[in-house]
Copies of this chain bind each other. A is one copy, B any other.
């Protein structure tokens, strides 16, 4: 296979998604990827590096997920699209994909290095806010404030749905989304 490296990463994600990171052993990974255990070490220095690469790899697919169909429309429309994507990120993935919760279980996910990559990966979000501010729609706050106030609720709601504490209710979520949008715009400060 031309892309044995990719295959290993997908097997790793699958195992973590289905059994948890504590059950990811190099042997199980090799079995799932249908290669010998030693072969993994031709592609990854060690387990730490493998997980580190998986982290970045998934971060990018998460970003791709979040920005799905979110390049069109005005700022508000794009915001709301992304907002719902964040919710789905928590509850919608296939059994072979890591969900948000599990992603945060990956070692090293909160290191300075990873955060820099994360910031770069989610640059489009920053741009969206910047655009909103320039259009005098969005409050002129630091991006961290805007993200915390507007998107953290979406992530949190997704997780609660995934954990079963909440059902996915389009109408109620729409309302929550509206609230979050209004919270960071001038519309409610007139």
> Which A120-149 residues have a C-beta within 8 angstroms of B?
139, 141-142, 144-145, 147-149
Contact A101 B107, beta carbon cutoff 8 Å: no
A188 contacts the other chain (CB 8 A): yes
Q: What's the least CB distance linking A157 to chain B, in Å?
A: 5
Q: What's the least CB distance linking A73 to chain B, in Å?
A: 23
Please report the C-alpha to C-alpha distance between residue A153 and residue B145 in the assembled complex, in whole angstroms.
8
> Which A154-188 residues have a C-beta within 8 angstroms of B?
155-157, 160, 163, 165-166, 172, 175-176, 179-180, 182-184, 188
A32 contacts the other chain (CB 8 A): no
Number of interface residues of A (CB under 8 A): 34
Contacts of A155 in B (CB 8 A): 152
Number of copies: 4
Contact A179 B172, beta carbon cutoff 8 Å: no
A74 contacts the other chain (CB 8 A): no
Contacts of A160 in B (CB 8 A): 144, 148
Contacts of A20 in B (CB 8 A): 107
Chain B minimum-CB-distance residue to A145: B176
- Tell which of B107, B144, B183 touches A166, judged by Cβ atoms closer than 8 Å: B144
Please report the C-alpha to C-alpha distance between residue A158 and residue B162 in the assembled complex, in whole angstroms.
24
Please report the C-alpha to C-alpha distance between residue A160 and residue B141 in the assembled complex, in whole angstroms.
15
Q: What's the least CB distance linking A139 to chain B, in Å?
A: 8
Q: What's the least CB distance linking A106 to chain B, in Å?
A: 10
Q: What's the least CB distance linking A186 to chain B, in Å?
A: 11
Q: A149-B179, A152-B155 are in contact. List 16 more A-B contacts (CB 8 A).
A: A20-B107, A22-B107, A101-B104, A104-B105, A110-B163, A139-B179, A141-B172, A144-B165, A145-B176, A148-B157, A148-B176, A149-B180, A152-B152, A152-B153, A153-B153, A182-B188
